[in-house]
A = this chain, B = another copy of it.
Amino acid sequence: MGKRLLLYLLIGCAMAANMEESMAVKVRHYKFEVAYIYWSPDCEEKMMMGINGFFPGPTIRAKAGDTIVVELKNSLPTEGVVIHWHGVKQLGTPWADGTASISQCAINPDETFVYRFQFYHGHYGMQRSAGLYGSLIVDVADGEEEPFYYDGEHNVLLSDWWHESVHAQMLGLSSIPFRWVGEPQAILINGRGQYNCSLAAHLTEGTSSYKITNKQCAPVVLQVHPNKTYRLRISSVTSLSSLNLAVGNHNLTVVEADGNYVKPFNVNDMDVYSGETYSILIRTDQNSSLNYWISIGIRGRLPKTQQALAILNYHPNSLSMLPSSNPPVTPQWNDYTHSKAFYYQILAMHGTPTPPPNSDRMISLLNTQNKIDGYIKWSINNVSLALPPIPYLGSMRYSLKNIGKPPENFLEDYDVMKPPINPNTTKGSSVYKIEFNNTIDVVLQNTNALSGNVSEIHPWHLHGHDFWVLGHGDGKFRKNDTSKFNLRNPPLRNTVVIFPYGWTAIRFVANNPGVWAFHCHIEPHLHMGMGIILAEGVELISKVPNEALACDITGQLLTKNKPH
């Protein structure tokens, strides 16, 4: 695993790779066309964004070390689009990160942009909610081996789905009075779910098999053979929901998180937050004459969405035979003790690189809910992120614009247990500038929202990096909490949770020249300003390709300023 820092172009649901050893490195070409399609992900037909006419998008599967080339054509009639390749570090190619206003201009209708990369969802406006996502799986390179054995595998891509369009959702969030998006109409497994629910109806009717003829919303069936070990590659691209997954009668062994191996541990159920990926192993050692439920429920918010169900089918039982026992029940939505018990068990596998012992800089980020002129926002150290029309990568690399510095911390006497005394905040688009190769600690500090006794879970996702999760705590972070940091086996991740009223500390090495977003992965929260921008080693970024720079305004500035 010491070789992982050599890696680039990689990381999805897995794994180790070694550029020097893997001789069969390939370039894999894909053509993606994004367009609206009619689809019935929960048996109700709506319009959504599809890729090549399908939802979810195609699964890209490649070997570690392979180069992925995706020609993305925007066939939406009037909207721009980008795709972020979640979990990919983009070392040496920061312009391919797929973040509008950060790494590139949005791709205009009828235009094509060429990306090179992995694990993807849309990162412009709230297009992830509109269905713009799929899976990417990176296999170990030839000659490498996984540190665990399995006989077969299945992909489990989790998402949440609203009947209201994302345009309407975005408008509601930006209105006075504020209109929250509400709970999703359905949780989808591999893009399929049931609304008002055909499958549940069968359950309560006591029938022993189901029939849903519409393939777009038919229950997902994962077929297994008895007495084998299966790997489930689980990823969540939910817009809002924190989820809990359980498989009836089966234990889960967690072996990987966000593309990094973890010390294996067993659980009955597991939480999955938006932006996370996991691999779990299950052993098919139960009564082989039965099928079993896989159930997905909502955590962290009072659920109003029925649990999603898939079927674990023991071959040769009928695919449509309903399990004889009830689906596993999701823990109480606000049982955070349960959530923390799971989350804190995630530790790096032996052999994972450990963090540098000291950091060069600590940034404290207070996550607060605020208002600007009556509009409800989220902000970080009292600045709500507002992305500029000119993408940062080009504007910083070529000094097209002066960009300010945001605050590094917050008032020492801020009471995180209470609503903000002064609820007002300001918009900002400044950037944390980081010296190349510095070691950076970030403490994410959760607080009480605008209403009393409310504090939410926020899964924060960092682009361009994995980071070490050094510690968590309840209440306010204190200076001497650094002494409790886990420097021995902290997990390497790209998404990390802050629990209600708690803090989370991470560490990373700024060794990837580029401009990177770090933000809450809940789309409405990001839309409301919950994120920051980091720029590191900008002077070391090699020539940014024209196609990543030349949107309207940038194009004009560049013709004046760009060094030839």
Contacts and interface: CB of A to CB of B under 8 A. Distances in A.
A551 interface: yes
Interface string A529-564: 000000000000000001100111111101100000
A108 B389 contact: yes
Contact of A78 (B106, B175, B559): B106
A107 to B, nearest CB: 7
A476 to B, nearest CB: 35
Nearest to A549: B555
Contact of A79 (B78, B111, B527): B78
Contact of A38 (B78, B171, B527): B171
A490 to B, nearest CB: 37
Contact of A165 (B106, B108, B165): B165
Contacts of A558: 555, 559
Contacts of A78: 79-81, 106, 124-125, 127
A96 interface: no
Contacts of A38: 171, 175
B175 A551 contact: no
Contacts of A105: 108, 552
A85 to B, nearest CB: 19
A110 B388 contact: yes
Contacts of A125: 77-78
Contacts of A106: 78, 108-109
Nearest to A389: B110
Contacts of A389: 108-111
A170 interface: yes
A47 interface: yes
A36 interface: yes
Contacts of A168: 47, 165
Given A109-B106, A127-B78, A171-B36, A550 B556 contact: yes
A47 B171 contact: yes
Contacts of A26: none
Contacts of A547: 552, 556
Contacts of A556: 546-547, 550
A553 B80 contact: no
Nearest to A560: B546
Interface string A181-215: 00000000000000000000000000000000000
The 5 closest A-B pairs by CB, nearest first: A555-B555, A550-B555, A78-B125, A110-B389, A36-B171
26 contacts: A36-B171, A37-B171, A47-B167, A77-B167, A77-B527, A78-B81, A78-B127, A79-B79, A79-B80, A80-B80, A106-B109, A108-B389, A108-B551, A108-B552, A110-B388, A110-B389, A111-B553, A165-B165, A165-B167, A165-B168, A167-B167, A546-B559, A550-B555, A551-B551, A555-B559, A559-B559
Given A101-B110, A550-B550, 10 more contacts: A47-B171, A77-B174, A78-B81, A79-B80, A105-B108, A105-B552, A109-B389, A547-B552, A555-B555, A559-B559
